[in-house]
Amino acid sequence: MTQGTKVIVHFVDRTVKGHVVHPDVEEDIPQNRPDVIRIRRLDGILEEVTLAQTQGVSFVKEFEANSSHSNLLFYNLVPMEQLWVRITFKDETVIEGMVENGPHFVLNPGFMLTPTDPTGNSHLLYVTKTQLRDLKVLGLRHGTKKVAQELP
């Protein structure tokens, strides 16, 4: 049996380690389920994992992490205040703009976008993520932080 890619699947209450099983490798596995991955756990049991029920899936080099490894964080000390993005809606409307870089951009069902087109009609948009076909980050904008001055 060919082993697939090593993965660690993170749930709220447990972690599963194993290899991804590709439908073309094992004939008894149904195909065309993009919301499900099949894992051959390390104990040999085949488990179907619905992605919506996971916290995430890590595609790993090894199952055991290197305890002496320190994560490399490129922007740890640099303030990244805005992302320059191009969004494409399901109706093929394309808009470029700036969004605040923070957890709300990732976690919330929508986000505020300031269009970069000065001749356009909109100066601010709330974008609902379910209506997007595509979102590309084009760049970063490092703003300067305004420091409040104390009044005498």
- pLDDT tens digit string along 60-78? 888 887 777 665 555 444 4
Considering the domain boundaries, does residue 95 fall inside one? yes
Q: Is residue 150 part of a domain?
A: no
Number of compact structural domains in the chain: 2
Domain at 116, CATH number: 2.30.30.100
Same domain, 55 and 102: no
Q: How deeply is 69 buried, as exposed, middle or buried, from its count of CB atoms within 10 A (0-12, 13-18, 19+)?
A: exposed
Q: What is the pLDDT of residues 28-48, one digit of tens each?
A: 445 566 678 889 999 999 998
- Which whole-number Å values give the CA distances from 49 to 9, 13, 53, 54, 64, in the listed order? 8, 14, 8, 8, 21
Range of the domain at 19: 6-59
- Residues making up the chain, counted from first to last: 152
Q: Indicate whether 124 belongs to any domain.
A: yes
Q: Does residue 69 form part of some domain?
A: no
User: CA nearest 98: which of 110, 86, 88, 83?
Assistant: 83
Same domain, 91 and 55: no
| Domain presence at residue 147 | no
Whether residue 92 is found in the same domain as residue 132: yes
Buried b (16+ CB within 10 A) or exposed e, 105-126: beeeeebebebeeeeeeeeebe
State percent of the chain over pLDDT 90.
Answer: 17
Report yes or no on 66 lying in a domain. Answer: no
Q: What is the DSSP letter of 16?
A: E
Residues in the chain predicted with pLDDT less than 50, given as ranges, are 27-29, 75-78, 146-152
**Contact criterion met (CB below 8 Å) for 85 and 96:** yes
What span, in angstroms and rounded, lies between the C-alpha atoms of 109 and 90? 16
